Amino acid sequence: MGNSNGKKIQDIIAEKKSSNKSFDVIVERAMPKLFLICATISILTTIGIVFTLLFETITFFNHVSIIEFITSKEWYPMHSDPSFGILPLVSGTLLIALIAMVIAIPMGLGAAIYLSEYASMKTRKIIKPVLEVLAGIPTIVYGFFALTFVTPLLKNFIPDLSIYNALSPGIVVGIMIIPMIASLSEDAMSSVPRSIREGAYAMGSTRFEVAIKVVLPAALSGVMASFVLAISRAIGETMIVTVAGGANPVATLDVTSAIQTMTAYIVQVSLGDAGYGTTVYYSIYAVGMTLFVFTLIMNLLAFFISRRFREEY
């Protein structure tokens, strides 16, 4: 009876395997090809973007000297006597990024240290998702928040503050990138082994000393990478600076006056202020290529830092 039942069970298993075999074989053969197609599309898309920027930028430099583009301090592409010096746009972009990092680094790092070293598991599960909700708010909403709330609030303390200025969007960009710094830094610090913390506690260290002198240095590569990626995000921000920063391309460190960033200029021209095929039209590709180079450098720097200071446990 046992042998008979055993044979029946084996037969059932064999029949089931044979019925599913053809489908499994098809899936096993098709999935690697599908994954290859996905990877290839991603690579080709990146190559297409780079070549589009490159070819149109070359067309721009056929009309404008690259020396003028790099060294001139005036950016007036739509004047009767146009000037194409990228420095004012770069200055405005870096000024916004600097203000954003002054706001985001202390707050983001403080939030990460609290979540990693002080908060209970229950508190962490509540606070971290709520903090990351900030990353899901549309940037256009942030832009109008900066223009209609933050700027009037700042004018109570800085009467000379212009309606369009660098300070307000810089602060709001900083608020926007806090979740990036907090989340990535907290992940890096949480990956530090518990045994390292316990060893520091055994030597008489306080919780604050463990967090600052042990855990933070051990997670330095991830923390620094989060800073660099956040700077890259701030440099590439568009709608906040377009709405609240103004359109005044001047090379200045005055945070109370209107400025213009590279992304804001691209938006301005893309709205139809310049005809297709004109020098002004091609200038958005030159500015886009400059922005691409900045972002690429930031990403490479983050990769280098994460590799250079990585700790193996």
Distance CA(111)–CA(20), nearest Å, equals 51
- Rounded mean pLDDT for each run of 10 residues along the chain, 313 residues in total: 52 60 71 88 90 88 85 81 86 92 92 87 83 83 91 88 89 91 88 84 83 85 86 87 85 85 85 73 88 86 73 58
Helix, strand, or coil (residue 247)? coil
Residues 6 or more apart in contact with residue 180 via CB below 8 angstroms: 108, 135, 226, 229, 230, 233
Distance CA(47)–CA(255), nearest Å, equals 37
Predicted local confidence at residue 221, as pLDDT: 82
Distance CA(313)–CA(126), nearest Å, equals 29
Looking at residue 76, what DSSP letter applies?
A: E
Q: Phi-psi bin for 70: left (phi > 0), alpha (psi -120 to 50), beta?
A: alpha
Predicted local confidence at residue 173, as pLDDT: 93
Distance CA(181)–CA(95), nearest Å, equals 19
Predicted local confidence at residue 153, as pLDDT: 92
Q: Phi-psi bin for 278: left (phi > 0), alpha (psi -120 to 50), beta?
A: beta
Q: Does pTM top 0.85 for this prediction?
A: no
Q: Judge residue 301's burial from the number of C-beta atoms within 10 Å of its C-beta, 0-12 exposed, 13-18 middle, 19 or more buried.
A: middle
Q: Judge residue 307's burial from the number of C-beta atoms within 10 Å of its C-beta, 0-12 exposed, 13-18 middle, 19 or more buried.
A: exposed
